[in-house]
Amino acid sequence: MSKSVEIVRSGKLLQVEASRQEVRLDFGKVVVGLLAYVEIIAPDGGSNTIEDVWECKGNLNALWLLIGRHMTKIVMDEDSFRLTFEDGTLIRCKNRKDFDFVKVWEPEYETGYPTVIHYLSQA
């Protein structure tokens, strides 16, 4: 059975910072850095994708629309990284089993995805 990491937090998305290195979602005590393979799924089922931040492949506009909305939790497992919002919006990054393309920072620790899942499966 695949292990998963669940981070239950409530926080309003305060800002989105975009650079060629990554897109950072700042929720105050939690910061999420996204590099590639990002899918933003709206409650109505519509979606936008960001294939690669460094290569400028994708539309970042959907992320700016999330400013002021509250996240409810982050779930990471063998299949994907998922960040959910109160209104039903979902940010999903499918696991391509290569470099860490998502980072999560909290005051106590930093977690990389998908590496964190690899370490859990070894435990």
Strands 70-76 and 5-12 turn out to be antiparallel
Rounded to the nearest angstrom, the gap between the alpha carbon of residue 105 and the centroid of all alpha carbons in its chain is: 11
Query: For the whole model, what pTM was predicted?
Result: 0.87
Query: Is the model more confident about 120 or about 115?
Result: 115
The whole-number pLDDT of residue 87 equals 94
pLDDT in tens, 49-99: 888 777 777 778 888 899 999 999 999 998 999 999 999 999 999 888 778
List the chain domain ranges: 5-122
Question: What amino acid is encoded at 52 in this protein?
Answer: D
Q: Decide: helix, strand or coil at residue 81.
A: strand
pLDDT in tens, 9-62: 889 999 999 888 889 999 999 999 998 889 999 999 999 888 877 777 777 888
pLDDT in tens, 100-113: 889 998 888 888 88
The residue written with tokens 């650079």 in the block is 19
